[in-house]
Structure 1
Amino acid sequence: MIKIQKALAIGFMAMSINLGYGCKNEPKNEKQILLVQRVEPNKKPNKRTVKIALLLDTSNSMDGLINQAKSQLWDIVNEFTRAKCGNETRPDLQIALYQYGNDDLSYREGYIQQVLNFSSDLDEISKKLFSLTTNGGEEYCGEVIQTSLKQLEWGKNPDNLRIIFIAGNEPFTQGRLNYKDAVTNAKENDVVVNTIFCGNYEQGIETEWKRGAQLTGGEYMAIDHNREVVHINTPYDDIIIQLNSKLNKTYISYGAMASEYEEKQASQDENAMSIGYGVAIKRAVSKSSRLYNNKSWDLVDASADDDFSLEKVEKESLPEELKGKSNQEIEKYINGKREERERIQAEIAEINKKREIYIAENQKENTQGELESVMLSAIKKQAAQKNYTWD
Structure 2
Amino acid sequence: MKKVNAILSLLFAALICSTTFGCEPKKKTKTIYAQALTEKPIANNTVKIALLLDTSNSMDGLINQAKAQLWDIVNKFTHAKCGNEAKPNLQIALYQYGNDALSSKEGYIQQVLNFSGDLDEISEKLFSLTTNGGEEYCGEVIQTSLKQLEWGNNQDNLKLIFIAGNEPFTQGKLNYEDAVTNAKEKDVIVNTIFCGNYEQGINSKWKKGATLTGGEYIAINHNKKIVHIDTPYDEVIIKLNSKLNTTYISYGSLGASKHKMQSTQDSNAMEMEEAVAVKRAVSKSSRLYKNKNWDLVDAADDASFDVSKVKKEELPKELKEKSSAEIKSYIKEKKTERVKIQNEIQELNKKRNAYIAKNQKENAKGELENAMLRAIKKQAAAKNYKWEE
Tell me the TM-score normalized by structure 1. 0.88
| Deviation at residue 24 of structure 1 after TM alignment | 4.2
Q: How does 1:370-389 map to 2 (within 5 A)?
A: 378-389=375-386
Q: Residues 1-391 of structure 1: matches in 2 within 5 Å?
A: 23-25=24-26, 27=28, 30=31, 45=42, 47-368=44-365, 378-391=375-388
CA 1:335–1:220 in 2, change beyond 3 Å: closer, same or farther? Answer: same
Superposed CA deviations along residues 1-54 of structure 1, whole A, max 9, x for unmatched, are xxxxxxxxxxxxxxxxxxxxx83446386469x9x99xxxxxx94510000000
Structure 2 distance, partners of 1:81, 1:139, is 34
Letter of the aligned partner of 2:277 in structure 1?
A
Deviation (angstroms), 1:136: 0.4
Q: Contact 2:113 / 2:125 at 8 angstroms: preserved in 1?
A: yes
Q: What secondary structure sits across from 2:53 in the alignment?
A: strand
Moved more, 75-84 or 22-31: 22-31
Alignment-mate amino acid for residue 223 of structure 1? I
Q: Deviations over 1:190-215 (max 9, x none)?
A: 10000011222221111110100000
Stretches of structure 1 lacking an aligned partner (at least 5 in a row):
1-21, 38-43
Aligned residue number for residue 8 of structure 2 = none
Structure 2 unpaired stretches of 5+: 1-22
Which deviates more from structure 2 when the two are superposed, residues 250-259 or residues 92-101? 250-259
Higher helix share: 1
* Partners of 2:141 and 2:261 in 1: CA distance: 29
User: Could you give the per-residue CA deviations for residues 123-174 of structure 1, whole angstroms, max 9, x where no partner exists?
Assistant: 0000000100111000000000000000001111232211000000100000
String of CA shifts for 1:95-120, please: whole Å, max 9, x gaps.
00000000000000000000000000
Query: Is the alpha carbon distance of 1:118 and 1:370 closer, same or farther for their aligned partners in structure 2, counting shifts above 3 Å?
Result: farther
Q: Which residue of 1 aligns with 2:15?
A: none
Identity %: 70
Does the 8 Å CA contact 1:72/1:369 hold for their aligned counterparts?
no
1:256 Cα shift?
1.7
Shift of 1:337: 0.4
Q: Is the 8 A contact 2:161 2:189 kept in 1?
A: yes
Task: Verify the 8 A CA contact 2:92 2:115 in the aligned structure 1.
Answer: yes
Distance 1:363 1:98 in 2: 33
**Which amino acid counterpart does residue 137 of structure 2 have in structure 1?**
Y
Matched residue SS, 1:385 = helix
Q: Shift of the alpha carbon at 1:365?
A: 2.2
- Conserved? CA contact 2:56–2:98, under 8 Å: yes
Deviations 1:324-371 (A, max 9, x none): 111110000000000100000001000100000010000012322689
Does the Cα contact within 8 Å between 1:76 and 1:372 map onto a contact in 2?
A: no
- Determine helix, strand or coil for the equivalent of 2:58: helix
- 1:227 offset after TM fit, Å? 3.4
What CA RMSD, in Å, does the superposition of the two structures yield over aligned residues? 2.3
Change (3 A) 1:372 1:344: farther
SS at match of 1:117: strand
The one-letter code sitting in structure 1 at the alignment partner of 2:289 is Y
CA gap of 1:230–1:284, structure 2 versus 1, over 3 A, is: same
2:383 aligns to what SS in structure 1?
A: coil
Q: Give distance in 1, aligned partners of 2:30 and 2:130.
A: 55
Distance 2:163 2:260 in 1: 31
**TM-score (normalizing by structure 2):** 0.88
Superposed CA offset, 1:228-248 (max 9, x none): 321111111111111101101
- Give 1:105's aligned amino acid: L
Q: 1:371 to 1:94 in 2, by over 3 A?
A: farther
What SS class does the counterpart of residue 61 from structure 1 fall into?
coil
Match of 2:14 in 1: none
d(CA) in 1 for partners of 2:334, 2:70: 28
In the TM superposition, residue 226 of structure 1 has moved relative to its aligned partner by 4.4
Measured at CA, do residues 377 and 286 of structure 1 come closer, stay the same or move farther in structure 2, by a change above 3 Å?
A: farther
- Could you tell me whether the CA contact under 8 Å between 1:72 and 1:372 is conserved in 2? no
Equivalenced residue count is 363
Verify the 8 A CA contact 2:43 2:88 in the aligned structure 1.
no
Are residues 381 and 280 of structure 1, via their aligned partners in 2, closer, same or farther at CA, if it must alter by over 3 Å? farther
Contact 1:68–1:371 (CA under 8 A) maintained in structure 2? no
State which structure, 1 or 2, has the greater radius of gyration over its C-alpha atoms: 1
CA contact 2:98–2:133 (8 Å) conserved in 1: yes
